[in-house]
Amino acid sequence: MYSKKTLEHFQNPQNMGEIKNPDGVGEVGNLKCGDIMRIYIKVAERPKIKNEKLKIKNDGGGAIDRGEQEEYIEDIKFKTLGCAAAIASSSMMTELAKGKSLDEAEKITRDDINNSLGKLPPQKYHCSILSAEAIHKAIADYKARK
């Protein structure tokens, strides 16, 4: 029923817990199934890399613009009350989001999470939807606090 990857994330969830004084919190739930997810993020800044492929010039210079900064998810944790698929989806979402810029993390979709888990059963697909909504809400909460 569940893929090996889904079972791994259920049995050994990554980034489970709570961040004290988080920069953003996202909470979602589904009344029909009873799943509740709360996501905590800590945001930091780092130099923005202009090009995905770092081009090294003959003079040794790189493509990093030292003046421009980007915000990224330095740390992320979750607390989920729900089924195996809900816990696995939360765990996988944190793995996909950690270390990503806020722009990249905002683009994480339910299909990214579902595919990374090796496809949830159709009746459990809503868990990937919830986890994608949770990270988007945490980022929106962070931006609203700024």
Domains of the chain from N-terminus onward: 4-145 (3.90.1010.10)
pLDDT in tens, 87-129: 999 999 999 999 999 999 999 999 999 999 999 999 999 999 9
Residue labelled with tokens 């990093």? 64
pLDDT in tens, 51-75: 555 444 444 555 555 578 999 999 9
Give the residue numbers annotated as catalytic, written as ranges.
Answer: 33, 127
Q: What percent of the chain has pLDDT over 90?
A: 81
Query: At which residue do the structure tokens 């962070």 appear?
Result: 142
More confident site: 58 or 31: 31
How far is residue 108's CA from residue 125's CA, in Å, rounded to a whole number? 15
Is the distance from CB of 123 to CB of 131 less than 8 angstroms?
A: no
What pLDDT shows up at residue 66? Answer: 57
